[in-house]
Amino acid sequence: MITGLDVRYPADDHPLAGRRVPDATLKTVRGATRVHELLHAARPVLLNLSGNTEVTTAGWTVRVDVVEARSEHDYWPVPVIGEVDAPAALLVRARD
């Protein structure tokens, strides 16, 4: 593929691990947003999509932005593999 969307780096067995994050629509206390909009600061983002208070970046808050949100859909479209269940939490690394 010219775009490289089929590239997957060796990682965990979860279908999103090692892939580019889908640009899913999220609902936050500040209103609707999309995953890619949260990446404009070029910092890692921890998405807490379950409301679980145990999802934390203790000791890393200066390096990771935490976003409490809900996924608009129960599934996320992922290029090449199709739809996957929306995750409960997701750590998205910043692009170098």
Q: What average pLDDT does this structure show over 28-41?
A: 93
Instruction: Tell me the one-letter amino acid at 39.
Output: L
* CB 76 within 8 Å of CB 15: no
Tell me the pLDDT tens digit for each residue of 38-59.
999 889 999 999 888 777 777 7
Q: What are residue 67's DSSP bridge partners?
A: 47
Phi (first) and psi of residue 36, to 5 degrees: -65, -25
8 Å CB contact between 5 and 79: yes
**Domain 25-92 CATH (choose: 3.40.50.620, 3.40.50.720, 3.90.420.10, 3.40.30.120):** 3.40.30.120
Whole-prediction pTM = 0.78
Strand partners, 76: 84
Task: Give the CA radius of gyration of the chain.
Answer: 13
**Domains of the chain: which residue ranges?**
25-92
